[in-house]
Structure 1
Amino acid sequence: MAANTVNREPTVKKTLKKILIIFGIFIALIGYGIYWAFFDMNRLPKGEYLTEETSPNGKYTLRAYVSNGGATVAYAVRGELVFNDGYRRDKNIYWNYREDTANIKWLDNDTVVINGHTLDVPNEKFDFRNQ
């Protein structure tokens, strides 16, 4: 009888390992779906154009848009970084709720202040949902 138990252990371990891998993939897919639906900055509403400012060296332009969420939701401002060299796609770097204006000021070629939030472009982002 001991021989049967020894032979079954590798099968049980393999089955348990497969179940854990499938469960992990399932959890990862749910996590990505939540991120995509609620936090992905590429899914923000376009909004209406407000203003734009170009960096001192002309490499970037930051365009600001205001988004009207409807009667029960406050306005929000979206900042879109435009790469003026034409080789990269535009990128959302700013999203803040309860704002309807955009005050944009470039401190240097790679640092912009949007409504008091300082960002080092092109890598930093501000999203009120992550604060």
Structure 2
Amino acid sequence: MCTRGILRSVVPPATNKPVVLRASGANSILAELSNEAVALSMDDAVRLNSCAVAAQVYIGSEYEHQSIKNIIQLVDAGMKVGMPTMAVTGVGKDMVRDQRYFSLATRIAAEMGAQIIKNLLCRKRF
């Protein structure tokens, strides 16, 4: 998974490896990281020959609603051009990475239409 800027400047155009483009972005370090917006058009994703687009979904965070809205927007746009959407579950700094959280985040992402869901590695076994 990479951004379109990295794809354009670092990945050779002739590469035959599938690439998932990160489609959301926002603050870097000085403010709440979960306050993201869609930062990629589906036309650009198609033009760059990506195999899917991805966005973080922050269930339980201050900007949960916005991150869910981003996933819905990408799913809707992707369905028009046959581009799958990956929801990447993000855990807030004050949240526990446990079975309850990942189960809820995965279920919500699936209910919103994400075709692929990526969860972070959990150290504890469920």
Higher relative contact order (CA 8 A, sep 6+): 2
Structure number with greater Rg is 1
TM-score, length of structure 1 as denominator length? 0.27
Identify the structure with the greater strand proportion: 1
